[in-house]
Amino acid sequence: MRNWRGQAGDSKIGCILWLLLLAAGVLVAWKAIPVKIATSELYDFMVEQAKWAGNTPADVIQKRIFSKGAELDLPLDVKQVTVEKPGDKVKMRAAFTVPLEFPGYTYEWKFDLQVDRPIYIW
């Protein structure tokens, strides 16, 4: 005869806890992945601007970076974007914080995108 004692009244608390953990992971990914993609696109744009920065004034590059950040819905201010062209280099920096809001908690995700490249004039 089989022993049914292990099945009688057996709760599924382990399954419920795993489902809650999975739901929390999906929520974090739902909020964080679009922000990470947008910041990566902004960084790629900054690298692209650095490639062709030879004849472009620094303030024009700064405005382009700010515009791209606004296009990507990043909380970027003009003061948070700096572009310098010392000698034959271009240095760009965009430092900003993106708030990720979760139920009962807001995480402040800090980004500091920096590009330091030589300028090639053909």
Give residue limits of the domains in the chain. Answer: 13-118
3-class DSSP state of 57:
coil
pLDDT in tens, 29-64: 999 999 999 999 999 999 999 988 888 899 999 999
Predicted TM-score (pTM) of this structure: 0.82
The angle at the Cα of 109, spanning 95 to 70, to the nearest 5 degrees, equals 55
Mention every residue, 6+ apart, whose C-beta is less than 8 A from residue 79: none
Task: Report CA 121 to chain centroid distance, whole Å.
Answer: 32
pLDDT in tens, 73-112: 999 998 999 999 988 899 999 999 999 999 999 999 999 9
Q: Where are the beta strands (DSSP E) in 24-104?
A: 81-84, 89-102
Contact between 52 and 92 under an 8 Å Cβ cutoff? The reply is: no
Q: Which residue in the block uniquely carries the two structure tokens 């809001």?
A: 101
